[in-house]
Structure 1
Amino acid sequence: MHVNDFPPEILIHVFQQATGGSSLTIFISQVCRAWRGIALDSPLLWNDLRISSGSSLYKLDQLFARSRGLIVSVTVDCRAPATPLAHNWKLLKGVVAHRARIGALDFVAPQHVLSMLSRVVIGNQFPHLQRLHVVQAAAPRVRPEDEIVWRVPLWKMTFDSPHLRSLSIDAVIPTNHERFRFLRELRIKESGYFMHEIPVDHLLGLQTLSIAASPLPSLTGFPADSQLASFTLSDLRTIDNPRGTLTRLLETVRMPALQHLVVDGLSGYLWNELVRWLADAEYPALRSVALEAVQLSDMGKQHLHAFATVSALRLSRQFGDK
């Protein structure tokens, strides 16, 4: 078969952009002119763009041009400590300039770069953005004693994205809660008490909720016809008064559509609260449960009927526990 006859689906597997880790990387400059020409002329090869702090505006515009008008996924990594602030500012403005083409955005940066991003996006709508993942990365340390509160969520930003359906935030506080009305997936990690500010009626459409190392919302008044199908609670030991918040959550929230439940970081009394909750409530749709730091002997026989509909049950005890 002549090189020009290869379908784009095969070329996508041949030419891969650098993604780090163990992923295969093939540099287009190292292949023959025919293959290089096909790669540069195949928009599907350029629908997942990865941009770092050192990227030039010319390279940024070139990547978007090669995707030929497709809605693309963009990953921006601004963790390089030596990058001048002026360059990061220009780079962020360059990304926002292409906002009409971005369907998914992953953004990793220290707090001062996120602050710049919050100023850049104000007043700019992302019309096709459906998935947003923002991580406040820890700042580099100069000395061991410099490990201070870099991960305290100081940054606040408003994203105007009418089609946003999936939001993941790590050590970040979003402010435009009205956009939560349209979310189907919400993942939160180390993001403080901001969920207590969200009206319950803004979460009615959620199908997936994951909360890690963050205070649990009370969600008082959560509707009985909730569509929540997947619920994850992680690192509960890292929050203040986990028993009180978990108890309030379990007593006020009914999730008849719940299919997948994952809980880890439970101490003994929190485990008892959870098992009592599962035993007393009815979850006809529940199919899979994963409980970390728990073993079967921890459960009384009277509670086993809570898992009557479950087809996948995973229990594991943390290393070092008896």
Structure 2
Amino acid sequence: MDAGVFDHWVKRSLLDVESALEVWVPESAPAGLGEAMRYAVLGAGKRLRPLLVLAAAEAVNGQREAALRAACAVELIHAYSLAHDDMPCMDNDVLRRGKPTLHVKYGEAQAMLAGDAMQALAFDVLTPDTGVAPALQARLCRLLARASGYDGMAGGQAIDLASVGKPLDEAQLRDMHRRKTGVLLQASVLMGAACGDVSDVAWQSLSDYGAAIGLAFQVVDDILDVTQDSEVLGKTAGKDQDSNKPTYVSVLGLEAARAYALQLRDQAHKALAASGLADTAWLSLLADKVVERDN
């Protein structure tokens, strides 16, 4: 696959997502709330989760309207989680996506409300009056809710906060990262797949692919936290080490963590090969992008 073709697909997909978010995230929300929401979600970030939704939807010839809504919904959930995670009561970070975090820019109360509003808006976006069948709306909402809640992102963050300064073995660390980061990435793939007709074999293969890249993403994040500076990362480098948080680097060592990320990428490729789907090129290249990124 020509890298230029992939880059063109990424640019077109990102433009579609950004244009839709511009429409669906209301500037008119009262008392500056809309401004804070738009600051948190527009014009920044890798948009990996939306890209996974759209790539999976294309692999199964899925409905474009539903896939675009799912892509925006998962990005809204991601943005809300970052807004809350960065607050002083949690990770207490001041830099996100190369700019001041939401609570630094707008205050803690507004950041909390903007996060709440983005979480609710995600499910509003998934349930339009027309254009997406009610059964598909329900399925997409269920996938996103489960990935966001106690058994997914929120549960992983709870484990993360409770693990500061405590030794974790590799299995415990993997479970924390699976919940905190991996499950939402996996759900992004499955939400895209749900927009089309997919066999049980393909669904399981895409689920396995999503699980592998979800964990790989966090392993690479742990590596970058100790190998890159804040300017490159767009967030505070060395924060996990300074906060005495367990990471894949602290548990396995740097070289073993790098090897594990490559192993997970290979698992993702094998899962795609087992799916029986005719064209998984975008998903394959996104798996490479997850592991080879520098921020």
TM-score range, shorter chain: under 0.3
TM-score, normalised on structure 1? 0.25
Q: Structure with the greater relative contact order (CA < 8 A, sep ≥ 6): 1 or 2?
A: 2
Query: Could you tell me the TM-score, scaled by structure 2's length?
Result: 0.27
Q: Which has the larger radius of gyration?
A: 1
Would you tell me which structure has more helix in proportion to its own residues?
A: 2
Larger strand share, 1 or 2: 1
